[in-house]
Amino acid sequence: MNIDVKDHAALSDVFNEDEDRVNWHDETLWWIRQKRDKAVNQLPEWESLRETASQIKNNVLSYLSNYLQQFEANATKNGIKIHWAADAKEHNEIVLGLLQSKQVKQMVKSKSMLTEECHLNEFLAENGIDVIDSDLGERIVQLAKEPPSHIVLPCIHKKKEEIGELFHQHLGTPAGNADPQFLTETARQHLRETFLTRKAALTGVNFAVAATGEFVVCTNEGNADMGAHLADIHIASMGIEKIIPERKHLGVFLRLLTRSATGQPITTYSSHFNKPRPGQEMHIIIVDNGRTIQLGREDFRNSLKCIRCGACMNTCPVYRRSGGHSYHNAISGPIGSILAPNLDMEKYADLPFASTLCGSCSNVCPVKIDIHQQLYKWRQVIVKNGYATTAKKASMRLMSFTLSTPSVYHVGGKAGRWVLKHAPFAVNNKFNPWYKHRDMPEPPKESFGEWYAKNKNGR
């Protein structure tokens, strides 16, 4: 897939060239959304859990500095070494420095969206470090030399036949074999050797407990445990927002996370790490990378509550039919569209407009982030800062003038109705993006204003 064009609309066109792929991508994600609905409807206390999680995160964001210092102190007591990274560059250099200090040239990595955000794999490859992603979906897109298209389902955009071909090219499986069970077993054998031979492992962090200094990694494949338990050095990368105050709060978040993500009651593995085993080194890199800027934006700070469940992607009609790569960012979908502009408003100015603002993302968010409201507010910020396209700015000025000038509004309405009736080709053509996927409406015989003028005395 060509991801050089940095525009959501253009990249969506690329994804939509394969209509069959779009249809099953849409249907599969909606099926996962339905699994989520069935799972949450079995819990009468679901809305109470959501509200509790949201309030816990409110508390964390209000006292973030205190909780981070508490976590550092307790983790250090446990024998874990803490590092602080202001941005992606510092994070990557810390990882490289740790590997070089141990003369490590190979590393196994479980799923970590933070490392995707920091482009860690590419950085380490440039510096002679071989990284193998151990999550099956991540390994598939790594072999394809593509970024993940979904934060929970990294290769959801891939057909099983394409995966079979990748395994044939890179892992030596028979050509044409696309049986999922066979491919999974092949990946298991391939990764087993990786786990046994890599002396360094990197994991993400789902939750970090301030009161105990421990962190929790949630997986369905057990790959994080395999890598971390067999490695001589375990590096964990976490964003500053991953903190929760106490261990008891895990009971709230673990019940929300996987039900929202895949409809499961809980992840297969919820692994707690609180100290290195004898002879092992354990390091945690706590990363800012723009998060404190987002924390200071009153309208957008709630986005830092995100627990990376992907529910907003599974329900979003735009994401389902445009694909994750159309967002040209490590985190795609609705949540990515409110996080990315904080990192680079100009580069990601298109993303808040890639939404219908239907509100479904906010409805399913397990920590009650007002995602669709933030998308709307980001549009305002982007336009005010001059990052909207020339065409969009011109159209908005024209619309503003028309809607604020009654005479122009009435003339424009009459002209529009006349064109739709007598010259529909003027709007029903390939140059009108709206018409590409929709039928233009039948023109009304009269405007509401005209109808009201004739009927207001007959009430």
With helix as H, strand as E and coil as C, how does 396-430 read? HHHHHHHHCCHHHHHHHHHHHHHHHHHCHHHCCCC
> Do the Cβ atoms of 235 and 98 come closer than 8 Å?
yes
pLDDT at res. 458: 65
How far, in Å, CA of 24 to CA of 442, rounded? Answer: 32
How far, in Å, CA of 205 to CA of 286, rounded? Answer: 10
Q: Which amino acid is at 405?
A: T
Strand 269-273 with 214-219, pairing: antiparallel
Set out the domains of the chain in order of their start, with CATH numbers.
Answer: 43-289 (3.40.50.10420), 300-385 (1.10.1060.10), 390-456 (no CATH)
How far, in Å, CA of 437 to CA of 407, rounded? Answer: 32
Quick one: DSSP state of residue 234?
E
Residues 6+ apart with CB under 8 A from 81: 281, 282, 283, 284
How far, in Å, CA of 172 to CA of 192, rounded? Answer: 16
pLDDT at res. 3: 43
Sheet containing 207-209: give its strands across: 243-244, 207-209, 214-219, 269-273
For residue 268, what are its two tokens?
Answer: 């297969």
> Do the Cβ atoms of 338 and 352 come closer than 8 Å?
yes
pLDDT < 70 regions, the chain: 1-5, 458-459
How far, in Å, CA of 115 to CA of 91, rounded? Answer: 9
Residue 141's φ and ψ, nearest 5 degrees, are -70, -25
How far, in Å, CA of 379 to CA of 145, rounded? Answer: 32
How far, in Å, CA of 332 to CA of 150, rounded? Answer: 7
Task: Name the one residue in this structure whose structure tokens are 């990557």.
Answer: 92
278 burial (CB, 10 Å; 0-12 / 13-18 / 19+) is exposed
> Do the Cβ atoms of 336 and 323 come closer than 8 Å?
no
How far, in Å, CA of 183 to CA of 400, rounded? Answer: 56
The shares of helix, strand and coil residues in the chain, as percent rounded to the nearest 5, are 55, 10, 35
Quick one: DSSP state of residue 110?
-
Task: Name the one residue in this structure whose structure tokens are 């999974």.
Answer: 184
pLDDT at res. 459: 58
pLDDT at res. 2: 41
441 burial (CB, 10 Å; 0-12 / 13-18 / 19+) is exposed
